[in-house]
A and B are shown apart, each in its own frame.
Chain A
């Protein structure tokens, strides 16, 4: 038997459905509806993809309508964040540093599973899906850590679900932002937004000056990454528009150095944009910061200095 990534997704779906149920019982109907729709994407995700592959479009269209409903539900003012639970002050004393063990079990068990997974082959089949080992390992590690946490605290399993769904509710629709933004990236790619931007850049720069081309490539990577929230989306567009035809073909840039440094230039843009919500907005909410752009503010000086260094590195290293 192989633990496939789909099983982990189903687990997420069940977990989100439990959160929806908690909200339903508390009569927070918009929140309950919100998590129910998201849970559907996890529970029926495979079925939707299989149906699309088989040529049946209505399941994907229904999911698409669900995503639009999520936007409308998120807008509703009744999606109030409930305050995160405060711990009981003296509770940690008898437990002491043993509390760290389950928290550290998430990263350490992930690591251990990733390392031993290639050797685990009961009945001749890999135990962990070799396609997505880290994500599967993270999911399994969360289950292991949950069992460890319940044993350490001797709390009933229901308590973990209540505390977890309280945390999820305090994140609210922000938790979903990374997923919707990635969806936007796919839609931008499908509607040709990237090609248009590469086309515009090609029109404004003088293509005979290699430093002008390099600057356009670097700034394009940063700007496009900021718009898409993802350097991976910006890379193929900027490479196809500027990097490959102008820098590599015309000016003889080293492909390996240009690709690597170009991608890292895009990463400087990732540090600057609210579109990279999972890195920049979700932590601001998770850490209960009053300003949702506080993490970006903390990153701006590092990102700008590093961007300048990176462009200088490119100018020095990519041309033979």
Chain B
């Protein structure tokens, strides 16, 4: 057996580890693997061109960018923050867990492209999460004056590292909700892929029989990620208290 095509895998791992430009790394891996497998230049270019064109659907999300860009220019993200600040009891955990559940349920009915990083996370979910987190943090710091914080609307801006965490968690929540919902959908590619594989090997299965086995994992994913969201919220609050304490001391000293 010719093991040399594995060199493409090595190129990818080394390239990502060295943080080279990812597109270049991947193109280099393609060339390395193809030559190691004994392809000539003509076959390599034809394979590369045909595969590239066959995967066009993955760039479809760029069509959302003119809409999102225009709306952001007119303050969509700020508006989303403001809207969340209007809900008094909505914490970061409640917002993200509700989104997670909704995303999973919709994906189970095949509505996979309803959410997504370009469509919903950047313009809506991320700013809403920031607004909810900012209020959590303000509440943790000064529970006594939280009423005034609510009345004044905006709590405070998150610190840069907190903002990064909250945004990344919002994106992660979208991924988890999508992945562990879509497999329960009958007509989804994964179910059909599994069915097709067995069919070719002489085992006949109904798509429903396959899809239902995805339910236990879907429930487990919801529970596990919800717990993680709650832990993340506690972490934000705890750090806010830690930061507030020394700040209070210095104010006293200054006086």
Contacts and interface: CB of A to CB of B under 8 A. Distances in A.
State yes or no: do A and B come from one complex. yes
A180 interface: yes
A131 B89 CA distance: 44
Contacts of A142: 63-64, 66-67
Nearest to A285: B117
B9 A255 contact: no
A153 interface: yes
A64 B45 contact: yes
B48 A297 contact: no
Nearest to A245: B201
Contact of B49 (A5, A12, A62, A180): A62
Contact of A160 (B70, B168, B176, B201): B70
A153 B197 contact: no
B176 A302 contact: yes
Interface in B132-178: 160, 164-165, 167-172, 174-176
A21 interface: no
Contacts of B210: 256, 259-260
Interface string A65-87: 11110111011000000001101
Nearest to B178: A279
Given A64-B48, A183-B51, A161 B66 contact: yes
A126 interface: no
Interface string A205-236: 00000000000000000000001000110011
B59 interface: yes
Contact of B217 (A92, A110, A114, A310): A310
Interface in A93-132: 95-97, 99-100, 102-103, 106-107, 110-111, 114, 132
A160 B112 CA distance: 26
Contacts of B201: 244
Given A60-B45, A298-B165, A74 B179 contact: no
Interface in B20-75: 20-24, 26-31, 33-34, 36-37, 39, 42, 44-75
A36 interface: no
A67 B191 CA distance: 32
A283 B204 CA distance: 39
B71 A186 contact: no
Nearest to A232: B193
Contacts of A183: 26, 30, 48, 51-52, 55
Contacts of A71: 21, 23-24, 26-28
Contacts of A33: none
Given A103-B71, A138-B63, A294-B168, A239 B12 contact: no
A184 B211 CA distance: 29
Interface string A129-159: 0001011001100100110011001010001
B216 to A, nearest CB: 5
Contacts of A182: 51, 55, 58
Contacts of A315: none
B119 A107 contact: yes
Contacts of B80: 100
- Main SS class of interface, B: helix
Given A99-B79, A260-B210, A15 B63 contact: yes
A72 B66 contact: no
Interface string A273-297: 0110111111110110111001101
Contacts of A92: 74-76, 78-79
Nearest to B51: A186
Interface residues of B, number: 119
B122 interface: yes
Contacts of A63: 48-50, 52-53
A263 B183 contact: yes
Given A92-B76, A187-B8, A232 B171 contact: no
B2 interface: yes
A103 B123 contact: yes
B228 A160 contact: no
Given A191-B39, A281-B22, A164 B171 contact: no
B42 A61 contact: yes
B101 interface: no
Nearest to B216: A313
B49 A107 contact: no
A182 B118 CA distance: 19
30 contacts: A12-B60, A48-B53, A61-B49, A75-B24, A87-B77, A103-B67, A134-B112, A149-B70, A162-B69, A163-B69, A175-B59, A180-B26, A184-B30, A186-B51, A188-B33, A190-B47, A191-B5, A192-B2, A197-B6, A235-B194, A260-B210, A270-B175, A271-B179, A274-B16, A278-B117, A283-B171, A283-B174, A290-B164, A299-B172, A306-B180
Given A42-B59, A173-B23, A179-B59, 17 more contacts: A15-B66, A60-B49, A61-B49, A87-B77, A92-B79, A102-B71, A138-B60, A142-B63, A163-B66, A167-B65, A179-B55, A181-B26, A190-B47, A260-B194, A261-B213, A286-B121, A297-B168
10 interchain residue pairs of minimum CB distance: A92-B75, A163-B69, A71-B27, A63-B49, A164-B66, A64-B45, A64-B48, A260-B213, A64-B49, A186-B51
